[in-house]
Structure 1
Amino acid sequence: MMPNFWSDKYPEGIQTDIDLDRYRNVLAVFREACQTYAERPAFSNLGRTLSYRELYELSGQFAAYLQKHTDLQPGDRIAVQMPNVLQYPVVVFGAMRAGLVVVNTNPLYTAREMQHQFKDSGARALVCLANMAHLAEQVLPQTDIRHVIITEVGDLLPTFKRLLVNAVVRHVKKMVPAYRIPHSIRFVDAMTKGEHVDFVDADPAAEDVAVLQYTGGTTGIAKGAMLTHRNLVANMLQCQVLMTKYLGGGAQVMIAPLPLYHIYAFTIHCMAMLIQGNHNVLITNPRDLPALVKELRQWRFNGFVGLNTLFAALCNSEEFRQLDFSQLKVTFSGGMALQQSVALRWEEVTGCGICEGYGMTETSPVVSFNPLERRRLGTIGVPVPGTDCKVVDADGVALGFDTPGELCVKGPQVMKGYWLRPEATAEVLDAEGWLRTGDIAVIEPDGYLRIVDRKKDMILVSGFNVYPNELEEVLSQLPGVLQCAAIGIPDEVAGEKIKVFVVPKPGASLTTEQVLKHMHDNVTGYKRPKLVEFRDSLPTTNVGKILRRELRDAELKKA
């Protein structure tokens, strides 16, 4: 299929032509947005709101510090390890303005994971939250990092509130373990050094790397996807196709509970919302549902960006169900499969349907979306403009409609390659620019895409392919199920047998017999689980995606 196959698959009013030469780099977008929407709110967190003008000024201060008070050079990598706080966009855009490459780093990483990413990226600088500075202290001697800037949660709040919030986090909640990094500098001191200092804004080429975005590492060692300025700008413009129709006309309020260091939230909130002049409300800890609901109560929000596990948890909250959703126009879902039962429940609670999309780190990340007025539950919609998709068999031969195969993607948002890993790049990216996603998908005759499952998660039972997504979709429809996961474990007779894990809703009383009967009634024989395990929780990634691999590894250790 070529991109024009999908040209008539979009609703009326959606612009399908993308001008990839409109902006030379991310900084051109940033500069235009901050000038055009100078007095509009850009980001809010912990009671403070930064306007686009303030964001531009503060990022300039940080860029000036980097240029004038360090020996960092354009192209050097800077690791940014923060949750959703106001410092994040200031640091990221400031680093880019100084000509540096941003290495987004999960603040929940262990010392081992931090060391791998810092060493692999060759980062020479680190900006981290004080809460994990003790881990940084352990690994810094094994890295090339020579510049460390340490920030605390409240550093961009007004002075009195900053001192109060930081004191509570450090001394009352005791969330900052002791550390000693002699050559580090406090973020507030770095910002002071950069104030009223002239610097030269970088002007990187379109093909220069803007961000090293590491894959989740859920299927092996995390690799750094080289996302260029062109990649990010292209995906921003592709997302804008959707945003303009649903979130145009003023400073729309977007709730940002997913971490900005993850590519999904990064592109939506730091890129697509930027060009629209919209307002992002940063949620620092979305796992604290009562605090999240309390924050939501303060806003008449127009958009919500989340994923399946978060939607399910919120809909199970009585306080959330009592919120005012009258201004909610659109909800975006990505990061993991959206279960239909969860989507229907969300729409019932909020009155707003969910637009499910699909993407991956290597595609900056958005590949496809469900237009709001043509949503089709169970699909990931149609490719964003300028994107081509096909499904192939094991030999790389393209398959027809309604035939499962590995999804391949081609478009301007596809990464340059993996950092320092030409062999790994060659395994997924061919000479024509086609990226093998590792996902099994189906292309329907009218152009909608449907993900069947991850290729590596497929279960083989007596020669039959079984896809965990299907089993989890069915199991989630059993009353009383909050979360679930299905995996294959070794079996002498069938090769693999199916085991399901179930997290019941609070107060629900579920039995193994009920689960097995439900599955018996809804799936064919070889797809039925043989084992059921109830749990209080399931292992998840930082954005809430259930880690089937951890469940499989634990089962293998038992054997």
Structure 2
Amino acid sequence: MVLSAADRFGDSEAVVDGPLRLTFTEVVYRVRCAAGAFAELGVEKGDRVAIWAPNSAEWIIAAFGLLTAGGVLVPVNTRFKTDEAGDVIARSGAKAVLVQKGFLDQDYSAPAGTPVIDLKSDFLTSGSPFERPVAGTDTSDIIFTSGTTGRPKGAMMHHLQTLRMYEEWATLADLRRGDRYLQINPYFHTFGLKAGLITSFLRGATMLPVAVFDVDTVVDLIEQERITMLPGPPTLYHSLLTVPDKAKLSTLRAGVTGAADIPVDLVRRIHDELPFQTLMTGYGLTEAGNVTLSLPGDSFEDVATTAGVPCAGVEVRIADDSEVLVRGYGVMKGYLDDPAATAQAIDADGWLHTGDLGSFTETGRLKIVGRKKDMFIVGGFNAYPAEIEGFLMEHPAVAQAAVIGVPDERLGQVGKAFVVLKGGSELSADDLISWSKDRMAGFKVPRLVVFVDALPLNATGKVMKDQLR
């Protein structure tokens, strides 16, 4: 797909990142040189390399250069702290880690013995043009998703399923050749990597990476670069609705949202106050990519309250306990080095158990009604209470902790922690929140802390979160 983009789109603009402007021909040449650099580094077919860096032109060239060399991409969440990232990098067996030094004042290091390469160095341009053949069923990427046990698991996907799935996404999202696609969704996430980069290479859209979301910067980019395509979480559209001069947004045509409940009023306001002609929503997960997508012409009500209809070649079933089950070509090959977790997630009949609770409307659209294991979504990022509770318990004054998601107007949901202190300990909510910010990604940090004498427990000693709610 990537190498053919030079023939298909040639001198069309492919990537705009600050002053850097590259055509598809130039991007493909750089990708092949990066492939050569990886080969010279000793990356063999099937070897894994991690990229722990924000959206940039170099991220794109590194990722597709690695795939062109036959390697397997392991994207790492830029919000992770050193220990969180180190665990993922070590377990992925990465041959090297590419980082952007100094981003978000983060210490981008790697486990001992793993080479760390600065994306902004001359590494990517140091190789001779190179490519290795790969098969469609070869693993292309391993994206780590936090399980409810709190330890991220690496979902393995292959080339063919990604290409088929995002061809359909591009069609339903109305992505066209020559579109100018502002990419705010992080590339370490399926939404950024696949609905962003893959679809742009499929369709010949110009990719404009955004490293950090800032509404003023984004508005300036939309106006200056004549942006037509702008997917993102509901928080993005909330921000655009506050822009005083809507004329600056006049080029916007297509939007895509998801990852949280969207009020019907928000969708109506997007249609009424912003220039979008199409707004798509959907439901997906790292382990299965797109599961459902809305259809062109869906009503405000449908886009806001449902996640659309099952994708072609994807079966969706609601189990007796209301859990959403998914089967089809898009389901992952399995979790990396974790057959037990794979067997737990994918049953003998090939159904992936999503852990999400849902139902179908009379028109066959999927509604997600809750999460079987309490996961909540903060501004588009999955937050897992068990993982956050584990971090909180490391505080010397904390005896017990339980975390739930509570509604938040801007972010959809945020974490609220109920904390029991150790006897004689003193701790303020602000101090615990501040302590948490140094230890976990920002979206995981509880926004609210309530101190209680005891947590409500059932007969087996499990916290009864329904009572906390």
TM-score (norm 1): 0.67
TM-aligned CA deviation for residue 289 of structure 1: 1.7
TM-aligned CA deviation for residue 140 of structure 1: 2.8
Which of the residues 231, 244, 247 maps onto 2:175? Answer: 247
Counting only pairs closer than 5 Å after superposition, residues 122-161 of structure 1 correspond to structure 2 as 122-131=93-102, 135-137=107-109, 139-141=110-112, 144-145=113-114, 147-152=115-120
CA distance in 2, matches of 1:340, 1:219: 34
1:274 corresponding residue in structure 2: 201
TM-aligned CA deviation for residue 300 of structure 1: 2.4
TM-aligned CA deviation for residue 217 of structure 1: 5.3
What do residues 88-119 of structure 1 show as CA deviations (whole Å, max 9, x unaligned)?
A: 11000101111111100122321111110111
Would you say 1:316 and 2:242 are equivalent positions? yes
1:431 corresponding residue in structure 2: 348
Counting only pairs closer than 5 Å after superposition, residues 65-84 of structure 1 correspond to structure 2 as 65-68=37-40, 70-84=41-55
Other structure's SS at 1:390 match: strand
CA pair 556-216 structure 1, distance change in 2 beyond 3 A: farther
Give every structure 1 segment of 4 or more consecutive aligned residues whose post-TM-superposition deviation is greater than 6 Å: 486-491
2:14 corresponding residue in structure 1: 42
Q: Say which one has the larger Rg.
A: 1
Other structure's SS at 2:270 match: helix
Which of the residues 63, 66, 89 maps onto 2:35? Answer: 63
1:341 corresponding residue in structure 2: 265
Counting only pairs closer than 5 Å after superposition, residues 205-354 of structure 1 correspond to structure 2 as 205-216=135-146, 220-243=150-173, 246-248=174-176, 250-286=177-213, 288-319=214-245, 321-325=246-250, 327-352=251-276, 353-354=278-279
What do residues 23-52 of structure 1 show as CA deviations (whole Å, max 9, x unaligned)?
A: xxxxxx212223211111112111322211
TM-aligned CA deviation for residue 489 of structure 1: 7.8
Q: CA RMSD in A?
A: 3.0
Determine if contact 2:170/2:195 at 8 Å carries over to the other structure. no
Matched residue type, 1:237? E
1:408 corresponding residue in structure 2: 325
TM-score (norm 2): 0.79
CA distance in 2, matches of 1:411, 1:380: 18
Determine if contact 1:79/1:105 at 8 Å carries over to the other structure. yes
Unmatched runs of 5 consecutive residues or more in structure 2: 377-403, 420-432, 455-469
User: Which moved further from structure 2: 51-60 or 276-285?
Assistant: 276-285
TM-aligned CA deviation for residue 322 of structure 1: 4.0
CA distance in 2, matches of 1:31, 1:84: 21
2:126 corresponding residue in structure 1: 193
2:429 corresponding residue in structure 1: none
Other structure's SS at 1:223 match: strand
Matched residue type, 1:101? V
CA distance in 2, matches of 1:558, 1:81: 41
TM-aligned CA deviation for residue 231 of structure 1: 2.4
Determine if contact 2:172/2:280 at 8 Å carries over to the other structure. no
Unmatched runs of 5 consecutive residues or more in structure 1: 1-28, 153-186, 395-404, 460-467, 492-534
CA pair 59-558 structure 1, distance change in 2 beyond 3 A: farther
What do residues 303-351 of structure 1 show as CA deviations (whole Å, max 9, x unaligned)?
A: 11111122112222325x34232x4322100233323232222222213
TM-aligned CA deviation for residue 443 of structure 1: 1.0
Other structure's SS at 1:317 match: coil
Determine if contact 1:338/1:356 at 8 Å carries over to the other structure. no
CA pair 485-80 structure 1, distance change in 2 beyond 3 A: closer
What do residues 246-278 of structure 1 show as CA deviations (whole Å, max 9, x unaligned)?
A: 233x31112211111211111112112211111
Other structure's SS at 2:373 match: helix
